[in-house]
Amino acid sequence: MILDDEGIELILPKSEQIPSDYFRKGDNVRAVVASVELRSNSPVIILSRTSPVFLERLFEAEVPEVYDGLITIKKIVRVPGERAKIAVESYDDRIDPVGACVGMKGSRIHGIVRELKNENIDVINYTTNETLYIQRALSPAKITSIKLDKEADRAEVYMKPDQVSLAIGKGGFNIKLAGQLTGYEIDVYRDSDVETEDVDLQEFTDEIDQWIIDELKNIGCDTAKSVLDIDPADLVSRTDLEEETIQEVVRILKAEFE
């Protein structure tokens, strides 16, 4: 039983507590109102610390840009006390939504993590590019390629063997939350021997300008084969690159595998 500042009784059920929560008499407790129930004709206020809304309110309290509406929280998914993923977006190009939420050297997010008993929080830059969104959601794992089945809401994600455990995460929480965040059922596959011979785009900085590489990375292409797997006309339409530039990039990348 908890009392608020006005002496009103509130209830924080065990099911709405983070597993490692432990409170002593006189402790201050932060939570959100989950529901108000009528019991014996008396209203009963139920609190929650496991609700995604609680995490949203903590960000509003710690990050002025979120409170002011300059940064929008698009979606939050949680396994309370273990891991959370939060997708954020800003309509102001001058604001880095992820950087603003994390703060200098993690100063802003540190207090939130401490309040949630060291829950691991991944802040992700929201995008309507579903391939890139899935890639970001599976962070910190690095992905080689993704095949989407939009009708079935399934994603086949290919990565090097040493990245698979990172993608799945402790207790499978990382891949579970990535699926909930993106709305896709995610299947992880190890690259075949042929696929592991792929080359990271950063290896081509001597031949391809960095801004062109960055443009390709923005659409989810981190490797040479991930670029070559896409039709050049699609690359032109999905990026801000000219057709001649794309043709030159494709020529350089193909030469690597000849």
In this structure, are 173 and 221 located in the same domain? no
In this structure, are 187 and 206 located in the same domain? no
**Residue 19 Rama label (left phi>0; alpha psi -120 to 50; beta):** alpha
pLDDT, tens digit (0-9, with 9 covering 90-100), for 61-83: 999 999 999 999 999 999 999 99
Residue 49: how many CB atoms within 10 A of its CB?
22
**Residue 171 Rama label (left phi>0; alpha psi -120 to 50; beta):** left
Residue 98, in any domain of the structure: no
pLDDT higher than threshold 80 for residue 198:
no
**pLDDT > 70 fraction of the chain, expressed in percent and rounded:** 95
Report the CATH number that the domain containing residue 222 is assigned in CATH. Answer: 1.10.150
At residue 193, the pLDDT reads 41
Integer Cα distance of 209 and 255 in angstroms: 17
Residue 222, in any domain of the structure: yes
At residue 196, the pLDDT reads 46
pLDDT, tens digit (0-9, with 9 covering 90-100), for 9-43: 889 999 999 999 998 888 889 999 999 988 888 88
Domain range for 182: 129-197
The total domain count for the chain is: 3
pLDDT, tens digit (0-9, with 9 covering 90-100), for 203-240: 888 889 999 999 999 998 889 989 999 999 889 988 88
pLDDT, tens digit (0-9, with 9 covering 90-100), for 128-143: 999 999 999 998 999 9
- State the pLDDT confidence band at 256, using cuts at 50, 70 and 90: confident
At residue 1, the pLDDT reads 64
- Indicate the residue among 197, 213, 235 that finishes a domain: 197
At residue 197, the pLDDT reads 66
Structure tokens at 67: 């409170």
Integer Cα distance of 78 and 66 in angstroms: 19
In this structure, are 235 and 185 located in the same domain? no
Residue 109, in any domain of the structure: no
State residue 234 phi and psi, 5-degree precision: -65, -40
In this structure, are 143 and 202 located in the same domain? no
**Residue 118 Rama label (left phi>0; alpha psi -120 to 50; beta):** left
